[in-house]
Structure 1
Amino acid sequence: MKFTDGYWLSRPGLHPLHAVEVDDVRVDEAAGTMTVYAPTAVVRHRGDTLNRPVLTLTYSSPAPGVVTVRVEHHAGSLHRGPDFALHPEPGYRPVVKVDETAGVLQSGGLTVRVHRQGPWRVDFEQDGRPLTSSLTKSVGAIASDAGEHWVHEQLTLAPGEHVYGLGERFGPFVKNGQEVDVWNADGGTSSEQAYKNVPFYLTSAGYGVFVDHPEKVSLEVASEVNSRVQLSVPGQALTYHVIAGPEPKDVLRRYTALTGRPPRVPAWSYGLWLSTSFTTDYDEKTVTSFIDGMAERDLPLSVFHFDCFWMREYQWCDFTWDPRTFPDPQGMLTRLHERGLKVCVWINPYIAQRSPLFAEGAERGYLLRTDDGGTWQWDLWQAGMGLVDFTNPEATAWYLGHLDRLLDQGVDSFKTDFGERVPTDGVVWHDGSDPHRMHNYYAQLYNEAVFGLLERRRGSGEAVVFARAATAGGQQMPVHWGGDCDSTYSAMAESLRGGLSLAMSGFGYWSHDIGGFEGTPDAGVFKRWLAFGLLSSHSRLHGSGSYRVPWAFDDEAVDVARRFTHLKMRLMPYLGRLAEEVAAAGTPMMRPMVLEFPHDRATFGVETQYMLGDALLVAPVLRADGTVDAYLPAGRWTHLDPGTVADGGPVDGAVVDGSRWVTETHGFTSLPLLVRPGTVLPVGERSDRPDYAWAHGVTLHCVELSPGHDAEVLVPGGSGAPATFRVRREADSGTVVVTSVDAPAAWAVQVGERRVAASGPGEVRIEQ
């Protein structure tokens, strides 16, 4: 929140205390901490210490390249959880040195320097390079006439520095000038509200800041003091972490090491998901007709999703199939599995009063209680619904027991919807958690419980959910989708901005409703969204009151769906490699341009395109006339023809010089999809499913390799064995040489129009 009235004044009724200077610096060598005592006025003589509040700042480090700062006014306040689960490096201690001029804590290449002389100043540096500073009036404790308290910090921004992240936010990708409240809400995609609020931002200057509070965190990003980011939380203490780069990927690597890495997800999850949609009429006959229609039209389908009305109305959730429409659910699931499909069903954490489970849950204390001992209820969403209390281990086991029953029937995945509408007033959690801290954190407990069950039942790397709500650490329970958007070009752009912001918040995978959720898209919007959706990490056809099968729009929509679904299946060797980077380093599959090109200032504000991994530039068509403006960084970029590659042909397109914006016009079967110069793009031999042996029959497309290029290319295994290739371009002759000692029985190399097939270990040479 804002505390000032312009530059000089405080807002009426607010009384700030600011760190003015350093009185003392103390070091605890065993703990690896440096504690700074900062009076809130200049102390000229002993008498000035009377009736003078002092702020206490403690500096520490949980891992190299991360500095933790805790600001306290009164340290005796009662602390109630929950707290983010962090993963410090065991036994790590930073180096702390104090002399007459400064107290310095060094963590790897990251240094915090607290100046002991003069006005308050704290500098953060990486390898001698300035990152950000805390200056006069930066550190403050605020009290109000009403007895409220807040603590804030203000960290400087350099001229031209851009701020990103803070969760899945659908407004402008660059957060400068915005006021952001980190508070989960079910607000759709067209406002400042967000389903996934993450108190972490990353800047173009190559560092990040994580505010370690699950409650409401307010950030004024160059919007209260134009040259600073202000972080504030209610209460008497504030904890934040400064995370070093120098590259944005380094920041995400350190941040996800601290808060948890996204895991691998099963190969089948990358295929196309088809939903019943929300309020449409459906039964097994309807479902079968959709699946038959997809097969008849050569539209590969991996997952079928049953939305809310698989359960009976007013009884969400009772986890029981509606017998009027699904009299033989286990038989139906068996029949779907026999067709090679996985099955996902919709759930949420609410128990409606008409559900047979409500009375049981209320009696046993499994539902959130009110402070008078009753069960919290309201009528929004479901009549008289209660909320499962996941702080109660018995309640969690009870809830998961019903999901276990569904897994026994043949369900493979769950769409963990909702989790944002969590009350804060007049409620009591089983474990005594602070209701305000639990509001955002509830989504973590909910998704963690369901994802954990799937991991236990299916195994590591085989669990996947479709989640809507999240906060910091939520990246550990993928996949997440963008929530309820309109069916328009503007909403498609909103969704993309949300995905880009979430990627800068540590989330490795992301999806969205192809065609939009609210309303029925016109055929043009649907076809454009198909290309965007099938060039996302995960792809789902889903809507509200209308079906999303392609033939419901027109014949060309079927062609577009076929082309891009086949393309995605062919790209699985490449996508599989990106998934390894997600799990190993927290690098997202869908990457904002600035994440991949952090030294190209022209990428800093780009929000209408992205990199799918490091090699493919995707610019969705967001206008009805088919025109697209795309920024190409330096180099010669090669258009990838979706249809040609989907059919197993070469990357055969025009070459475009970069370091500039280009404007193109595309029909519905294409979009700007360009291969980065210097790329070896592995393309698979199958276009009918995602879970095949990716290395078998792979073709390595060598695109604009520079003389002297020498790199190793890993093709993950999928359902088969992985393979590693060394790709070189000889500096003198220009010949491309590819060798492998573990190559599969069949593979090939493609350079332009020339293709050479090979079998097993060996070498391929293609002269240019």
Structure 2
Amino acid sequence: MKFRDGMWLVAEGMRVEYAEDVHEITPTENGLSLLCPTRHIRSRGDVLNLSTIKLDIEAAFDGVISVEATHWSGAVNRGPHFDLYPNGRPKVEAKVTKGHKGTTLNSGSLSATIHPDRHNFDIRFHSTDDSKQLTSLLGRSVGLAYNPAPSNPRQTGDMRDFKHYIFTQTTLSVGESVHGLGERFGPFNKVGQNVSMWNADGGTSSDQAYKNVSFWLSSRGYGVFVDTAGKAELEIGSERTTRVQTSIEGQRLKWYIIYGKTPKEVLQRYSVLTGKPGKVPSWSFGLWLSTSFTTNYDEDTVKSFLEGMKERDTQVDVFHYDCYWMKAFTWTDFVFDAERFPDPKGQIARLKSSGLVNKVCVWINPYIAQHGAVFETAAKNGYLLKRKNGDIWQWDLWHAGMALVDFTNPAAVDWYVGCLNGLFEQGVDAIKTDFGERIPTLDVEWFDKSIDPHKMHNYYAFIYNKIVYEALQKRYGPDQAVLFARSACAGTQRFPLQWGGDCESTPEAMAESVRGGLSLGLSGFAFWSVDIGGFEGYPAPWIYKRWVAFGLLCSHSRLHGSSSYRVPWTIDDDDRSDEGCSATLAKWTSLKTRLMPYLFAQAAEAIEMGVPLSLRAMCLEFPDDPTSWYLDRQFMVGDRLLAAPVFEESGEVEFYLPKGKWTSFFTNQTRDGPGWFKERHGFGSLPLYVRENTVLVLGKEGVRGASYNYAEDVEVCLYQAKEGARSEVVDRDWNVLGALTVGADGELKGSEILKGKWVKSGEGRKIEEVFMKTIEWL
């Protein structure tokens, strides 16, 4: 939302008022309350007929300060509100001091200082030790606006014909970049963009996003979390080039500034506010296969695909049934189409007992079609969202006469969970929670009448995914629940995992997906996936194979298309060539399976830190390298592996290596960074480089399926490993078995946790002059 027309004029139809003075500073329990008039007060008469903004600045916990701007405090602050501090709030230690620089609030390592000249609006956010200046609220940076512009104050006595906005503008420093704000497919650096926090089913090729997360990360060492479930508009250097403007329609705007010595520390503190990512079962890291959105799911078709994958040496861990496991015009009624699934429980059981697949996932959404078996029950019992006149809210977009489950009704939640339990009884292990973005805001009333429909639009994704995730946890155990979710808002990282939505089958769309995954990872989400090969269209064989390499290096990997299959032999019908689609898929699936000891240990750390496992932006690992903040075609897989997908049919790829020595996982060639490099790759490789000082634990060659013993028959590879290099070993039930550590003598300590299996040591993974030894039982 732009309020001005350039530097000198107000935008047409707007009246804008700015906080000009800090007239009073009042201590509060954990901070300061500032009374800020919208004109300079030079005499007693100046206090009349003007607006004021109250600015509450409070210590939240170490390194975090909240800022809340309020115009009319009597406005009802209706929910829903974000579920903050889900694991408990840390101790608050607020300290207020006064000095020649002004009044300062300390919150551990972060401070806010209000300039002593009350006519000079100047609030600085900085590290408490003054080593780092972060951002500021300067003149004309806090304000309110009306649209249309009232001609005199009396008109605002009746606000029915006016919209009221409140905004703040934090400063952007020279060279500062801004990242995150959910799964955004446009430019990685958001400076210069207008970003609207409003969930939409817009695909991956527009400025719309399925997952709007009101948190952004700055290259200057801080993040900002906007604490509103409603629509927030950000002008990131796009209205005033040196500021980030955040505005909402309403009377109060609250945000938190989060400081950390590293970006990881910022994300970790953000996860204290909104929640850490949940754990996912080890089997979920394996390959997921779907026939496609519109194609056939009968038993013979599914079995033929899985047998075909086995014949081509590719293990499928999860088979996914998309929409048409239910009959057309009935989605979502939780009833298998009897024509294609005469015995769904038996079919699923036969599928698992065949050994062709380990787990089964089905697609659902929160929309209830009028012609489905459960519509009448849901309607009669008040489980569906209603219009203000009492009618059930319905439309024909997506499915005929579809309504929306009202999850603010506890009875509706119980009913919906009962429907899910019916699926679990039939052998379903995981749920794809699709949709949840098209949530109406006009002429609707929720069961919980304290709910603001506007705020519910984005927040619906949180409660929808929470209900399904917790139902899975109750059925299978707290660490065995996994979703495949499309919509999200702040906090939804607690209910993994998420995937990138409807992308096209082009290299440009693959690059869009990389940017989307990077941005979501910088918004506190640990686990993410993508439709390998692209969802829409028919991928050319070379695109499919390049996407396979990228997709198998994501935390989770799924083959899924719209109107065409994604099994490899339907792409190129080449089962003989080592460079064919089938061979390429087998190679990358095998590699990911071998990487599981490393990936699972890294996943445990990612959950604890609130950082992404894969699609980890380079700036998280190398924040002091300015180039790392602009790299949007490569990523880290955990903290030790660097991957650069290939987007050219020729196999040419350009990538950047930060400072240090890097070893190619495939060739053992070493390169010294920092610098840009060009390579050409066949379909069985890409730039996959191991960071120096790495202890890399791999599963044995030929292991099938993602869930196995990560401490048995492993291969340990040392890459320029010096004293202190370490790698934790975590079993598939999330138990930390111990750590492998390189000692002063170069020996590997703690290797007894590997059950006496082989350890390979040396420079990289060279075969020449590799020292092999058997670990003796102690």
TM-score band, normalised by shorter chain: over 0.9
Q: Deviations over 1:405-447 (max 9, x none)?
A: 0101110010000000001110111112111100000000100
Partner Cα distance (1:286, 1:154) in 2: 57
The one of 129, 132, 135 equivalent to 2:135 is: 132
Structure 2 residue aligned with 1:159: 174
- Name the stretch that deviates more: 90-99 or 123-132: 90-99
Structure 2 counterpart of 1:102: 102
The answer on 1:377 being equivalent to 2:394 is yes
Q: Which amino acid aligns with 2:597?
A: P
Matched, 1:273 2:294: no
- Cα displacement string for residues 608-661 of structure 1 (whole angstroms, at most 9, x for unaligned residues): 0000011111100111221101001112211112xxxxxxxxxx5211222111
* Count of residues in Structure 1 that have an aligned counterpart in Structure 2: 745
The one-character-per-residue Cα deviations of 1:59-111 (angstroms, maximum 9, x if unpaired) are 11222111001100000001210000100625524222346863321111000
From 567, 586, 591, give the equivalent of 1:567: 591
Matching residue of 1:79 = 77
CA contact (8 A) 1:170 1:191 kept: yes
Give 5+ residue unaligned stretches, structure 1: 642-651, 763-768
Alignment of 1:298-337 (within 5 A): 298-337=313-352
- Aligned residue in 2 for 1:55: 53
AA aligned to 1:45 is: S
Match of 1:746 among 751, 757, 766: 757
One of 504, 518, 523 as aligned partner of 1:486: 504
Mapped contact 2:110–2:126 kept (Cα < 8 A)? yes
Report the Cα distance in structure 1 between the residues aligned to 2:503 and 2:137, rounded to whole angstroms: 39
With over 3 angstroms needed to count, the CA separation of the structure-2 counterparts of 1:285 and 1:315, relative to structure 1, is same
Kindly indicate whether residue 204 of structure 2 is the aligned counterpart of residue 189 of structure 1.
Answer: yes
Q: Residues 213, 720 of structure 1: CA spacing in aligned structure 2 closer, same or farther, 3 A cutoff?
A: closer
Change (3 A) 1:726 1:523: closer
Task: State whether residues 61 and 91 of structure 2, in contact with CA within 8 Å, keep that contact through their aligned partners in structure 1.
Answer: no
Amino acid aligned to 1:16: V
1:714 is aligned to 728
Alignment of 1:499-514 (within 5 A): 499-514=517-532
What RMSD over aligned residues (CA atoms) do the two structures have, in Å?
A: 1.5
Alignment match, 2:646: 621
Q: What SS is found at the alignment partner of 2:461?
A: helix
Do the aligned partners of residues 370 and 266 (structure 1) sit closer, same or farther apart at CA in structure 2, a change above 3 Å counting? Answer: same
SS in 1 for 2:220: coil
Deviations 1:295-340 (A, max 9, x none): 1111011000000000000000110100111101000111122125
Alpha-carbon distance in 1 for matches of 2:90, 2:601: 29
Aligned counterpart, 1:446: 464
Contact 2:751 2:775 in 1 (8 A): no
Tell whether the 8 Å contact from 1:270 to 1:539 is kept in structure 2 after alignment: yes
SS of residue paired to 2:467: helix
Q: 5+ unaligned residues in a row in structure 2: which ranges? A: 149-160, 575-579
1:649 maps to which residue? none
1:747 & 1:263 partners in 2: Cα distance? 33
What CA distance in whole angstroms lies between the structure 2 residues aligned with 1:624 and 1:670?
A: 14
Which digits, 9 at most, give the CA deviation of each residue in 1:209-267, with x for residues without a partner? 00000111000111111011000010111000000112110010000111000011100
For residues 456-477 of structure 1, give each alpha carbon's deviation from its aligned partner in whole angstroms, at most 9, with x where no partner exists.
1111111000000000001001
The answer for the alignment partner of 1:766 in structure 2 is none
Q: How far apart are the structure 1 equivalents of 2:703 and 2:59?
A: 48
Q: Could you tell me how far apart the structure 2 residues matched to 1:747 and 1:260 are? A: 39
- 1:121 and 1:541 mapped to 2: Cα distance? 53
Deviations, residues 565-587 of structure 1 (Å, cap 9, x unaligned): 11001101100111111221112
Corresponding residue for residue 661 of structure 1: 676
Contact in 1 for aligned 2:694/2:726 (Cα 8 Å): no
1:348 pairs with 365, 370, 373, which one? 365
- In the alignment, residue 702 of structure 1 is paired with which amino acid? L
Q: How many angstroms does 1:713 deviate by?
A: 2.1
- Residue 647 of structure 2 aligns with an amino acid whose one-letter code is L
Q: Which amino acid aligns with 2:146?
A: A
| C-alpha deviation, 1:728, in angstroms | 2.7
C-alpha distance in 2, partners of 1:574/1:594? 21
Match of 1:80, as an amino acid? Answer: R
1:586 and 1:715 map into 2 onto residues whose CA distance is: 20
Hey, what does 1:463 align to over in structure 2? Answer: 481
Distance change in 2, residues 1:532/1:80 (3 Å) = same
Q: How many Å separate the matches in 1 of 2:84 and 2:60?
A: 9
1:582 aligns with 2:612: no
| Alignment correspondent of 1:648 | none
What residue in structure 2 maps to residue 599 of structure 1? 624
Residue in 1 that maps onto 2:19: 19
Quote the Cα distance in structure 2 between the aligned partners of 1:42 and 1:738: 68
Q: Kindly state the Cα deviation for residue 503 of structure 1 after the two structures are TM-superposed.
A: 0.4
Shift of 1:675: 0.7
In structure 2, C-alpha distance between the alignment counterparts of 1:90 and 1:254, rounded to whole Å = 10
Residue 122 of structure 2 corresponds to 121
For 1:220 and 1:698, the matched residues in 2 are separated by 51
- Contact in 1 for aligned 2:93/2:108 (Cα 8 Å): no
Mapped contact 1:513–1:541 kept (Cα < 8 A): yes
Distance 1:756 1:56, change over 3 A: same
What does the per-residue CA deviation read over 1:182-231, in whole Å, with 9 as the maximum and x for residues that have no partner?
A: 00000000000000001110011110000000111000111111011000
Given that 2:290 and 2:560 are in contact with CA atoms closer than 8 Å, whether structure 1 keeps it comes out as: yes
Task: Please report how far the alpha carbon of residue 271 of structure 1 lies from its aligned counterpart in structure 2 after TM superposition.
Answer: 0.2
Contact 1:742 1:760 in 2 (8 A): no
Name the CA distance, whole Å, in 2 between partners of 1:761 and 1:122: 63
Distance 1:719 1:502, change over 3 A: closer
What one-letter code is carried by the residue in structure 1 that aligns with 2:108?
Answer: G
2:157 is aligned to none
Which position in structure 1 is the counterpart of 2:155? none
Q: Does 1:495 align with 2:513?
A: yes
Q: Which residue of 2 aligns with 1:645?
A: none
**Which residue does the alignment assign to 1:232?**
247
2: CA distance between counterparts of 1:447 and 1:705?
A: 42
Identity %: 48
Whether the aligned pair in 1 keeps the contact of 2:63 and 2:107 (CA below 8 Å) is yes
Q: CA deviation at 1:726?
A: 4.2
In the alignment, which of 394, 407, 417 is matched to residue 400 of structure 1? 417
C-alpha distance in 2 between matches for 1:85 and 1:443: 13
Quick one: which amino acid aligns to residue 122 of structure 2?
R
Q: 1:516-554 deviations in whole A, cap 9, x for unaligned?
A: 000110111000000000011000000000111111123
**Paired residue type of 2:222:** Y
Q: Distance in 1 between matches of 2:710 and 2:415?
A: 40
Q: Distance in 2 between matches of 1:725 and 1:443?
A: 38
Q: Does structure 1 retain, via aligned residues, the 8 Å contact 2:695–2:726?
A: no
